[in-house]
Amino acid sequence: MEINLLKKQLELIVKASVHLSNMEMQEWERLTNDHKSKGAGIARSVVLKDRSLWLGGVDQQTVQVLEADTSKLSEAEVKLIELLMAAVVGEASLPAAGAKKDDEHRSRQLGAWIQEQLEQGEDKANAPESLTLTTKMDGVMIPFLLGWETHSVTDISYAKLNKLLRSYFGGDIVLLPLKEEWYVLVGEKLLADLRDESDEGLDTERDMLGALSQGMYELVANEWGGGGFHLAVGDPIAPEQALVSTALLLRETLTLGRLFHVTEQIHLSWELRLERLVYSIPDAQRQRFIEDTGSQISLMQDEEILSTLDTFFQLDCNVSETAKRLYIHRNTLLYRLDKFKQETGLDVRRFHDAVIVKLGMLLYKVTNRE
């Protein structure tokens, strides 16, 4: 029924003027939540002390609202009008994707709340029940954070990204847009499924999380391009207890990964503990360490030395594996390590010296790339 005709019919019923207006979906949901209005999907009515509001139609992110003074109507009459509105407006006014739109809106609300807590430093806060997606956030979940350097969150379609990730994970996920990243939560059951299906000898949970992240990265990078796209993953969490603190951890993981491992796009939170410690060292202490190891730090400006040492440490100081990874002869690698020893007095094949050099490399990166 045409909305203006419906408005006139309501005026005849309530014997008072009925006002038609547009309202943001977010404002309508806040109003219905505040007054405990019930109903599947989007609530259809709000009864206040001296007036009532009825949902007249839905148009993307706005709703049409009919409002009238119903202070002189009985509860039964108000209920009858609600039934009339539901019958006349019908389910057609709520699109077939109404539930999906509702999910998206609630996801955006929850994402905005998490962003607000992060900005206020309230990382221990628990999400209000009115914002939680209870049917999807039940039990233990695996957290991911997606960040682009070349795209903003508004450049990426929620519906498209949600569909893509659901197809990859084979079921419902929680997708929350933050200010600069997408926060993704996936049911822990996936780990069990991956363990059952894997024939690659993935025998630890973190190995499986790494494999899961690799597949997710390739899928998203294929869709939106790999340039500037980074992915962070953390250990499974109980969302009701660690939603904000985990978002903070993963955001820090992205920052550390970009800073210390510029050639990598997937960053595992548990592999950046030393980087996290170095990043927290005050500037004065960093500078003192650099001054104490001046000759070593100066060599870090040599990209060949830096690349060689990075690979050497990644492969647990294994000379043969490092030579293979760098596509050089073993003797060439030994020559580079001996040359480094002659110029700095530090032999990275010795544990103590390797620790000093590793710390120096991390400090060099953080002081030159911040």
Q: What is the 3-state secondary structure (H, E, C) of 107-125?
A: HHHHHHHHHHHHHHCCCCC
Choose one of 253, 271, 289: the last residue of a domain.
271
Please tell me whether residues 119 and 105 are part of one structural domain. Answer: yes
Please tell me whether residues 16 and 130 are part of one structural domain. Answer: no
**What global pTM score does this model have?**
0.63
Confidence of residue 95 (pLDDT cuts 50, 70, 90): very low
Confidence of residue 322 (pLDDT cuts 50, 70, 90): very high
pLDDT in tens, 41-93: 566 778 887 788 888 777 656 788 888 887 777 777 777 777 777 666 554 34
Please tell me whether residues 184 and 125 are part of one structural domain. Answer: yes
Please tell me whether residues 132 and 45 are part of one structural domain. Answer: no
Please tell me whether residues 240 and 134 are part of one structural domain. Answer: yes
State the Cα–Cα distance between residues 295 and 345, nearest whole angstrom. Answer: 9
Q: Could you write out the three-class secondary structure of the chain?
A: CCHHHHHHHHHHHHCCCEEEEEEEHHHHHHHHHHCCCCCCCCCCEEECCCEEEEEEEEECCEEEEEEEECCCCCHHHHHHHHHHHHHHHCHHHCCCCHHHHHHHHHHHHHHHHHHHHHHHCCCCCCCCCCCCCCCCCCCCEEEEEEEECCCCHHHCCHHHHHHHHHHHHCCCEEEEECCCEEEEEEECHHHHHHHHHCCCCCCCHHHHHHHHHHHHHHHHHHHHCCCCEEEEECCCECHHHHHHHHHHHHHHHHHHHHHHCCCCCEEEHHHCHHHHHHHCCCHHHHHHHHHHCHHHHHHCCCHHHHHHHHHHHHCCCCHHHHHHHHCCCHHHHHHHHHHHHHHHCCCCCCHHHHHHHHHHHHHHHHHHHC
Q: What CATH number did the domain enclosing 335 receive?
A: 1.10.10.2840
State the Cα–Cα distance between residues 323 and 71, nearest whole angstrom. Answer: 84
Per the CB < 8 A criterion, the answer to whether 41 and 102 are in contact is: yes
Please tell me whether residues 213 and 313 are part of one structural domain. Answer: no
pLDDT in tens, 123-150: 887 777 666 665 567 778 999 999 887 7
Please tell me whether residues 110 and 89 are part of one structural domain. Answer: no
Is position 196 within any domain? yes
pLDDT in tens, 269-319: 998 888 888 888 888 887 777 777 665 556 667 788 888 998 999 899 999
Q: CA geometry: angle at 61 spanning 56 and 63, to 5°?
A: 15
Q: What CATH number did the domain enclosing 196 receive?
A: 3.30.70
Is position 276 within any domain? no
| Lowest-pLDDT choice from 148-157, 295-304, 333-342 | 295-304
Q: Considering only CA atoms, which of 131, 295, 144 is closest in space to residue 231?
A: 144
Instruction: Look at the alpha carbons of 142, 147, 151, 154 in this order and tell me if their dihedral is positive or negative.
Output: positive
Please tell me whether residues 182 and 313 are part of one structural domain. Answer: no
Domain count, the chain: 3
pLDDT in tens, 172-217: 789 999 988 999 999 877 766 666 655 554 457 788 888 889 889 9
Per the CB < 8 A criterion, the answer to whether 180 and 112 are in contact is: no
Residue-range definition of the domain harbouring residue 299: 281-369
For residue 249, pLDDT beyond 90: yes
Please tell me whether residues 181 and 202 are part of one structural domain. Answer: yes
For residue 8, pLDDT beyond 80: no
283-306: b or e for each residue (b if 16 or more CB lie within 10 Å)?
A: eeebeebbeebeebbebbeeeebe
Please tell me whether residues 60 and 143 are part of one structural domain. Answer: no
State the Cα–Cα distance between residues 349 and 358, nearest whole angstrom. Answer: 12
